[in-house]
């Protein structure tokens, strides 16, 4: 079958290890199923894998892709939940959890094998392309907002770095749930698009906000950390799910954190139950993922290039 895979690792030039070509059919252990992939979406995780983060040399070659939607062995339209090993479903009870492409082959192929527990029904209201955007970036945004930020309708939330998959998801989800969403970006076009998606305020990165906010969703890291902490109301919360600009800010802002009793919360992915809720929310409320571009699987290198350059707004989707 045709697949897109990591053949080598290179920290400085990750795309040099990306290959497209024939791969073996997936192995299907007892309790697993095969999904014929119709659409899959890119995440920064795929670039990090090519740099050797979370992926060992011994695991190569590894088909990339965490997210996917397609048709299972019984003909059902399904969405793949990409965390394998949670509570032991489909694997040994002591196996630590991992995300697709870390230990098991991913979704950038004609077929992918996952435990039967890891497939959820695809709502008929969502296309395969839309559904394939949800399991990683959109699920991460959903958990950040509705599980970890501690906000309620009417509260204010700042999203740093409008344009990335998690950031755009957070703006759309938050606005649909009645939150007042603020956003930052260095790019004027991305700020304008954030307003179109439901943000109330969109400012230059680092610019002072009209008011302090109840929560900040942080995926950028070092470049925006000080601004995130300074933008919070006393008692506010910053939720971190990534650090694309680096994990070590020049100023930790510890004095401000303890004096204003701010909360710093880490957030990673989400549960299968949260993904089910996200799918239902999107179907019921007409919320749809922001798709930057859709490419056939054999043009995956173009999609990786867009993500590596940051020249995108929303998700890049690959279709089979």
Fold topology of 2-133+289-319? Quinone Oxidoreductase; Chain A, domain 1 (3.90.180)
- The answer, yes or no, to whether residue 27 has pLDDT greater than 80, is yes
Q: Are the folds of 2-133+289-319 and 136-266 the same?
A: no
Q: Where are the domains of the chain?
A: 2-133+289-319, 136-266
pLDDT, position 246: 82
Q: Which of 281, 260, 91, 92 is nearest to 169 (CA)?
A: 281
pLDDT, position 68: 98
Fold topology of 136-266? Rossmann fold (3.40.50)
- pLDDT single digits (tens) 159-191: 999 888 899 999 999 999 999 999 999 999 999
CA atoms within 13 A on the CB side of 95: 15
Burial zone of 274 (CB within 10 Å; 0-12 exposed, 13-18 middle, 19+ buried): middle
pLDDT, position 76: 97
pLDDT, position 247: 85
Q: Are 90 and 31 in contact (CB under 8 A)?
A: yes
Average pLDDT score over residue span 114-142:
97
139 pLDDT tier (thresholds 50, 70, 90): very high
pLDDT, position 250: 84
Cα-flanking dihedrals φ and ψ of residue 28, to 5°?
-120, 90
Strand partners, 121: 78
Q: Are 70 and 37 in contact (CB under 8 A)?
A: yes
Average pLDDT score over residue span 40-62:
93
Q: Are 170 and 189 in contact (CB under 8 A)?
A: no
Separation between Cα atoms, residue 124 and residue 273, nearest integer Å = 19
């Amino acid at each position: 079958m045709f697949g897109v895979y990591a053949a080598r690792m290179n920290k400085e030039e990750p795309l040099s290890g990306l290959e497209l070509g024939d791969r073996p059919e997936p192995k299907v252990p007892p309790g697993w199923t095969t999904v014929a992939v119709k659409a899959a979406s890119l995440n920064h995780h795929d670039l990090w894998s090519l740099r050797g983060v979370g992926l060992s040399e011994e695991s190569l070659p590894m088909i990339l892709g965490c997210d996917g939607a397609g048709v299972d062995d019984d003909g059902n339209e399904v969405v793949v939940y990409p965390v394998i090993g949670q509570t032991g479903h489909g694997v040994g009870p002591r196996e630590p959890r991992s995300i697709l492409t870390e230990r098991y082959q991913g979704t950038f192929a004609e077929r992918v094998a996952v435990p039967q527990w890891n497939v959820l029904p695809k709502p008929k209201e969502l296309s395969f392309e839309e559904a394939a955007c949800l399991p990683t970036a959109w699920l991460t945004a959903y958990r950040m907002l509705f599980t970890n930020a501690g906000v309620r309708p009417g509260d204010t939330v700042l999203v740093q770095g409008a344009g990335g998959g998690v950031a755009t998801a957070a703006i759309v989800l938050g606005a649909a749930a009645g939150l007042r969403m603020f956003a930052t970006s260095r790019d004027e076009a991305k700020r304008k698009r954030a307003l179109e998606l439901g943000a109330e305020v969109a400012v230059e990165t680092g610019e002072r906000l009209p008011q302090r906010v109840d929560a900040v969703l942080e995926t950028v890291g070092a470049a925006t950390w000080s601004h995130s902490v300074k933008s919070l109301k006393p008692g506010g919360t910053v939720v971190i799910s990534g650090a694309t600009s680096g994990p070590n800010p020049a100023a930790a802002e510890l004095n401000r954190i303890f004096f204003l009793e701010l909360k710093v919360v880490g957030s990673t992915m989400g549960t299968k139950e949260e993904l089910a809720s996200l799918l239902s929310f999107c179907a019921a409320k007409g919320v749809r993922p922001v798709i930057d571009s859709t490419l056939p699987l054999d043009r995956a290198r173009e999609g990786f290039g867009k993500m590596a350059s940051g020249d995108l707004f929303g998700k890049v989707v690959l279709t089979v």
